[in-house]
Amino acid sequence: MYRNAVVSAAWLADRLEDEETSVIDVRDAWEFDGIGHVPGAASIPFGEFRSETGDEGMLPGAEIWESLLSAAGIGPDDHLVAYDDTHGVFAARFLVTAELYGHPPDRLHLLDGDYSAWNQAHETTSDAPSHATTDYAVREPAHSPLVDYGTVSAALDDDSTVIVDTREPREYDEGHLPDAVNVDWRDLVDDETRGLKPETELRSILEAAEITPDRRVLLYCNTARRISHTYVVLRSLGYEDIGFYEDSLTGWTDRGGPVETA
């Protein structure tokens, strides 16, 4: 169901001319125009697909999403390959948003190593792309990973579930959900390559925190941006039972949920 959740620059290069492959650049517009981009990529900056009200990072709303993808020429069953220049965290948020709005999960791909990986080995351009508009429409996902406050609250005493805080250790120490384990999303990224660490190393990090494929995994951060990256990584490793707590710590504390400090 989640084949090729994370793909290499070479994988993308082989499919760049495929009419059913849409490449999405979520960097700021000035970067897309001034620094260059993957040929044929559509520009959908991160700021355009987050909520205009409430906390940064929340879902933008179905109408906004449909408008953005239609203007980018994206079809309902296209393979979407998203990238940024920040180790994939903003691109992952785009992909999770697409999944939550019903895009087929097996057609959502994160470019490993972000724009740098492409720029080092493949052609870039500053030419403005031309995309024929489509009539993209959101759909109900076949399966939604979203979980609510009640689900997370009930999981606090469930030994078969592990709650994962994907923020920085400093933030975790200042306050976290009871018994949550802390794996900073950046711990899964190689700073030198800007891509994911090798699979064996990823599994070692996760297993050391008792985040194993046989357990249910519930993810949170502050406003659901950083958990998007961890969610995609876990999917790429074959984890199946993953809960995505969209409200994250912001919504949890607003509801009066209990919080622990270090």
Weakly modelled stretches of the chain, pLDDT under 50: 54-56
**pTM here?**
0.95
Structure token digits, residue 25 = 């650049």
CA distances from 164 to 47, 197, 215, 242 (A): 26, 19, 12, 10
The pLDDT value given to residue 170: 97
Alpha-carbon distance values, 12 to 30, 103, 128 (Å): 23, 19, 20
- Classify 138 as helix, strand or coil: coil
Q: Residues near 54 by Cβ (< 8 Å), separated by ≥ 6? A: none
Q: Which phi and psi angles does 214 have, rounded to 5°?
A: -85, -5
Query: Structure tokens of 240?
Result: 């199946």
For residue 92, the model assigns a pLDDT of 97
Task: Report the pLDDT value the prediction gives residue 55, as an integer from 0 to 100.
Answer: 46
